[in-house]
């Protein structure tokens, strides 16, 4: 009450200006004489001041605790000393008899003093920073962790984010390809952390032995790379802040999407809309800075980088090709053959050694799975029709109801030695050339006939505008070569009407 500034001023004026006695002031206010002396000696309350530091039981251990905290900076965050662990070590190793509270207070004080302080830096146009972060997303009803690639431009503060099932070389490559396409050019210099995707060995403070995959990417786009000092993420602090911003703004609430394509479409729109914002520290919008910065970019190569690994594998006797503990089917004619495999993030492409396409599958990310394309095994059924109902590649396939009706009809019409089943399989083989939708329409028309067959279904599948429809194919029908068809005499039909033209 008596240290209130207004009261403080009144007491000083009464004694020092009006000449009132100190005894009178003490009698009126009831304050201690030392308090009155303090008011008269200071123009404003000086606050609490400890004149002499009291000796603590921890004084002799301060240096030891400081060394522990300094050495902790070189270890992983999850293996650093807690205040409790330091207290336990003081008791065990240094026979400390004090309380845990004073240890906890000292550790907190020392950590605050030893915190890093960073110098604000100026960002040059045409530079970028890269990082990954993890977030949750509900994809096709399954809550799962997604790995997001992020590239930011510190000068304009524009950034690009794309989600992937895994953080791997393929997603690292594709993230760069899509980011460069989004920015409309290639930044001259890009900063990275020390991910194993890019760094094979750390040979110095900023010198690195790079992986072949990273060098392939760098050789294609010709940007300069910079790798941060180990455990010094502040060297790419802009993208670190972008990661926090993107996770809290783009991934909250948890996205509910059908697939990764839908999620990445949302992320692309969110990143693109950022160009209209203006940061407090900037005098212009992100778009204006982005347009200025783009003049410093390297031009995109004429041929885009192909973000896939290339390898060789031999198809097994089951006509399966193995990659990363998963199997992918190929047509049975390629069983036991060496093939070229090109795995991308979303799919797997398989080629012959001469470069002819063989198969394409959606990529499997869980281990020990098999991706079958039933069309690859159709011709094998021609020689083994009994496997139609038990072959694994055909399990779970739901064909339209007209196919079941066609099969029953054919098996009734051609009961001997699986002829009906073989005829049905030969119709299924048409899926190698025609889509299921087109073949289904042809089958629907054929089952209305009394004697449906392969030739009729094939004829229905053929496009009416194609020249093929006008030509009768004699392949496999050599016995018809001797048949001669004469041009009809149209006048003979007049006798049917009794009229002569």
How sure is the predictor about 395, in pLDDT bands with cuts at 50, 70 and 90? confident
In the predicted structure, residue 68 carries a pLDDT above the cut 60: yes
What is the C-alpha radius of gyration for the chain, rounded to an integer number of angstroms? Answer: 40
pLDDT at 340 over 80: yes
Q: What is the pLDDT of residue 384?
A: 86
Write down the CATH superfamily of domain 127-296: Ribonuclease H-like superfamily/Ribonuclease H (3.30.420.10)
The per-residue pLDDT of the chain, averaged, comes to: 86
CB atoms within 10 A of CB 458: 19
Residue 494's pLDDT band, with cuts at 50, 70 and 90, is low
| Alpha-carbon span 153 to 292, nearest angstrom | 12
Cα torsion at 366, 368, 369, 374 (round to 10°)? 160
First to last CA, the chain: 132
Decide if pLDDT at 296 tops 80: yes
Q: Is the pLDDT of residue 143 over 70?
A: yes
What's the pLDDT tens digit per position in 308-336? 988 999 999 999 999 999 999 999 999 99
pLDDT at residue 247 tops 90: yes
Q: Start-end ranges of CATH 3.30.420.10 in the chain?
A: 127-296
Q: Which residues contact 331 (CB under 8 A, 6 or more apart)?
A: 319, 358, 359, 375, 376, 379
CA distances in angstroms from 108 to 62, 80, 91, 114, 231, listed in the order given:
12, 14, 19, 10, 22
pLDDT higher than threshold 60 for residue 467: no
Determine what percent of the chain is predicted with pLDDT higher than 70.
87
Q: Is the overall model pTM greater than 0.75, yes or no? A: no
User: Which of 52, 93, 89 shows the shortest CA–CA distance to 69?
Assistant: 89
Which residue stretches of 149-279 are H helix?
A: 169-183, 212-221, 237-250, 260-273
Higher pLDDT pick, 12 / 497: 12
């Amino acid at each position: 009450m008596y240290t209130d500034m207004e009261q403080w001023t009144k007491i000083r004026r009464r004694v020092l200006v009006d000449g009132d006695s100190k005894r009178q002031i003490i009698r009126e206010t009831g304050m201690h004489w030392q308090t009155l002396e303090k008011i008269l000696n200071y123009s404003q309350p000086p606050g609490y001041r400890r004149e002499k530091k009291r000796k603590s039981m921890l004084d002799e251990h301060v240096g030891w605790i400081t060394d522990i905290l300094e050495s902790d900076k070189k270890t992983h965050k999850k293996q650093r000393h807690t205040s409790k662990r330091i207290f336990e070590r003081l008791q065990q190793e240094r026979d400390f008899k004090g309380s845990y509270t004073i240890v906890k207070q000292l550790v907190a004080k020392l950590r605050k003093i030893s915190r890093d302080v960073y110098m604000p830096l100026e960002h040059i146009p045409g530079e970028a920073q890269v990082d990954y972060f993890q977030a949750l997303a509900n994809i096709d009803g399954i809550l799962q962790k997604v790995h997001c690639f992020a590239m930011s431009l510190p000068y304009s503060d524009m950034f690009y984010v794309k989600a992937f099932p895994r953080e791997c070389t393929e997603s690292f490559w594709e993230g760069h390809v899509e980011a460069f396409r989004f920015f409309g050019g290639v930044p001259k210099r890009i900063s990275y952390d020390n991910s194993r995707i890019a760094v094979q060995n750390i040979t110095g403070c900023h010198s690195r032995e790079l992986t072949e995959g990273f060098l392939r990417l760098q050789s294609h786009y010709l940007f300069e790379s910079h790798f941060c000092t180990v455990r010094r993420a502040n060297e790419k602090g802009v993208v670190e802040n972008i990661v926090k911003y993107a996770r809290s703004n783009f991934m909250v609430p948890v996205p509910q999407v059908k697939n990764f394509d839908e999620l990445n479409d949302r992320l692309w729109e969110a990143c693109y809309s950022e160009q209209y914002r203006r940061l407090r520290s900037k005098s212009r919008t992100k778009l204006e800075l982005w347009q200025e910065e783009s003049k410093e970019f390297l031009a995109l190569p004429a041929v885009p980088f192909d973000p896939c690994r290339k390898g060789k594998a031999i198809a097994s006797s089951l006509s399966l090709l193995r990659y990363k503990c998963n199997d992918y089917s190929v047509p049975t004619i390629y069983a036991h053959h060496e093939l070229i495999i090109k795995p991308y993030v979303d799919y797997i492409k398989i080629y012959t050694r001469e470069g002819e396409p063989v198969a394409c599958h959606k990529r499997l990310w869980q281990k020990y799975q098999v991706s079958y394309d039933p069309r690859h095994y159709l011709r094998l059924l021609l020689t083994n029709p009994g496997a139609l109902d038990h072959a694994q590649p055909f399990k779970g396939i739901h064909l339209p109801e007209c196919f079941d009706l066609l099969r029953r009809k054919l098996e009734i019409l051609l009961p001997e030695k699986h002829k009906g089943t073989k005829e049905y399989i030969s119709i299924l083989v048409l899926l190698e050339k025609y889509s299921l939708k087109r073949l289904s329409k042809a089958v629907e028309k054929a089952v209305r006939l009394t004697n449906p067959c392969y030739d009729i279904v094939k004829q229905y599948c053929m496009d009416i505008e194609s020249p093929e429809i006008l030509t009768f194919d004699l392949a496999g029908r050599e016995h018809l070569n001797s048949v001669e068809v004469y041009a009809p005499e149209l006048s003979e039909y007049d006798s049917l009407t009794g009229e002569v033209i």
